[in-house]
Amino acid sequence: MKKIIWCGLIWCLSVFVTANAYSDYAEKSTEHTTVSLFHNGGDEVLARFSIQPDWHISWSNPGDVGQATTVTAENTDVNVLAQSTPIARTIYDIMREYLYENTAYYLLKVNSLDEAKLTFNFVECNDVCKPETLSFDLDTITPTSAPQWNILRQQADATFPQKIKLSGSAEDNMLKLDILPDTPVTFTPTQKDIIDETSIEIKQLEDGIQVQWQSEQPQQLQQALIMTPTAAYLADIEYTHSFSTVLLHILLAFLGGILLNAMPCVFPILSLKILNLIKTPQTTAKPLLNAITYTVGVLLSFMLLTVCLVWLKHQGENIGWGFQLQSPWFVGAMIVLFSVLFLFMVDILHFPNFSADKIYKLSVLNEFTTGFFAVLVASPCSGPFMGAAIGYAFTRSYGEIFAIFTALALGYALPYAAIEMFPRTLHKILPKPGAWMQKLKYVLSVPILLTVIWLGAVFYAQVTDESETEVSELDWQPFDAEEIERLNAMGENIFVDFTADWCLTCQFNEKVILNTKRFKKFVQQNNVYLFVADLTEYNEEYSAALSAYGRDAIPLYVYYQNGNYRILPLFFKVGSLSQ
C-alpha cells in the first residue's frame, strides 16, 4: 500500500511539473502588470497585457510622456502584426499621452519557436512610473487548442484598429481621407518624433477630410492611427513622388557619380586608370569598345553592390553604402590584391614573357577589371549630391533604386570613358614614349602602396577591436541617441560625426576640418557636445541612426542648435556652424 501511495504521489508530481514546464500558455508578472503568451502552433503569438486598476502602460508612441512598449526577439525574427487601439489622454491641458489600461493585446509573427526568446520592455505608471522587463522562452509553450485560440483571437481582434492603406504626396506631406465631412478625426503617428504632431492640420473638404503636417525629419511618416467616434484605423502610408522629383534625384546621382572621381578614396585607383590610358596605343582601333568595356565593369560592380544592399536591407539589416569594407574578410582580400598589384608595378613581380599579353588582357589593368575594382575601392566615399540621392533611393521602389544607382554608375564611369574614346588627343598632350613612362609607373605605384597601408590599418582595427573613435584631444563621446535627444531638448549645441576607418573621405575631413585649431576653438567657445558613430565594424544602432537621418553613406555630419538640427555639406566650413 505504501508503494502504491508513493507511486501515486510521484506520478502526480511529474504531471504537475510537466504541465507547468510545457503549458499551453506562459505567464509572468511584475508588481502591477501580467503578460500572458499564447501561440497557435504556427507562426503567430498572442501577448495579453493585464494591467491593475489605476495603472497603465504606454502605446508604441507614448506621446509627450512615457516610454514606448516594445518587443524584441533572440534567435528568431518578430514582427508586430497588430496591437490594441490606445486611449488618448490630455494631461494638464498641455500634454498628450497614448496608453493602455486594464487589457491590451499584441499579435506577433515569429519565424521560429526553437530556442526563441521574446522580451517585452514597458513602463507601468500611476503617480510614479517603473520601467519593467519580462522575457519568455517560447519553446516551453505548447500550442493553444483551436477553440481556445479562436476565442482569444476574437477578443483581441475586437481591440485592434482596422488596417487600411493611404497614398499621399511626399512633397506636401498630405493625405486625403475618404471620411464623411464634419466627422471628428484624430491623426496620430505610431512612432514618436517622426513628425511634429503640433503641426498636424485637419481640414474638412466637400468630399472628405484632408490631413497635412510639417516635418523636419528626413525620415517620412510610414504609419498613423486614425480615429473617429465610431472606428479606429491603422493606416500604412505610401508616398507618391512627382516625376520631376524622381528625375531630380537621378540627376543628383549622375552628378554625384562624376564628382566621386575627385574624392580622396578614389585617388589610389586613379593610378590604374592613368597607367591604363598611357599604355593604350594612340592608334588603337577600339577606343569606343574600350570605353564601353570599362563602363560595363563599373555598371556590373555597382549593380552587384546594389543587389547586396537591397537584399540585406530586405532581411532587416541596417547597412549603408560601403558596407563591404565592414568585413575583415573583404578588406583582407583587397590587401592581397593591391599588394600583388604594387609588386607588379614596381617590377618585383613579373609575368612570363610568352604570356604577358594574354595575362595583361585578363589582369586588373584591363578595361573591365579596372572599372569593376574602381567601384569596390571608391564605394566607401560619399561625394556631393550622393548622400541625398542614395538616402532617397532606399525609400523608393526597386525600380527607382536601380535607376538612381545606374545613374550614379554612369556618372562615375563618364570622365574616364570619355578620355578613352579620344586616345589621340591624350597622346598629343603627353610626351613621346620613353624612359619617363617607367618612372611614372613607379610614381603611380605610391598611391597603391598607400592604399595597402590604409587597408592594413582598417584590417588591424577590425580584428583587434581598437578602432580610433577620437579624432582629436576634444571630448568625443560614443553616439548615444537618448543623450543627444536630452541635450537637444535643453537647447545645447551638438555635433555628430558618422565615420569609419575605411572611409578615406572621413579621414581626410578629420585632418583638414575636425583636427584644425579653428574647429577646436569653435567647439570650446560654443560649448559644443561631440558625438561620434564609428562604423568601421557593423553596428546596428549606428546604422539605424544613419538611416533615420535619411542617409545610407558616410561621412555624415549633423549639427544641432537651438533645438533643431541640420545636415552639413560634405566639406563644410567651420564658420557655417554658427549661422
pLDDT of residue 101: 93
pLDDT of residue 497: 93
Strands 201-205 and 476-478 turn out to be unpaired
Q: 3-state DSSP call for residue 341?
A: helix
Nearest to 124 by CA among 202, 216, 53: 53
- What domains are defined for the chain? 24-157 (2.60.40.1250), 162-240 (2.60.40.10), 243-458 (no CATH), 476-578 (3.40.30.10)
- CA gap 424, 431 in Å, rounded: 12
**Contact in structure between 555 and 504 (CB atoms under 8 Å):** no
pLDDT of residue 356: 40
**Contact in structure between 121 and 130 (CB atoms under 8 Å):** no
What is the mean pLDDT, run by run of 10 residues, along the chain of 579 residues? 58 43 71 91 91 91 84 87 90 80 93 86 81 87 88 93 78 70 81 78 78 67 84 81 73 82 64 61 63 83 79 58 65 75 70 44 58 68 62 66 84 81 65 61 73 76 54 78 90 90 74 85 90 84 83 84 86 80
Strands 232-240 and 162-169 turn out to be parallel
pLDDT of residue 528: 92
- CA gap 502, 496 in Å, rounded: 18
Cβ-based burial of 520 (10 A; exposed 0-12, middle 13-18, buried ≥19): middle
First to last CA, the chain: 93
Q: Which residue has the cell 493553444?
A: 144
- Residue 419's identity, in one-letter code, is I
pLDDT of residue 529: 93
Dihedral-angle region of residue 535 (phi above 0 means left; psi in -120 to 50 means alpha; beta otherwise): alpha
At 17, give phi and psi (nearest 5°): -65, -45
pLDDT of residue 440: 66
248's enclosing H/E stretch is: helix 243-260
**Contact in structure between 75 and 110 (CB atoms under 8 Å):** no
pLDDT of residue 478: 92
- CA gap 459, 335 in Å, rounded: 9
Cβ-based burial of 43 (10 A; exposed 0-12, middle 13-18, buried ≥19): middle
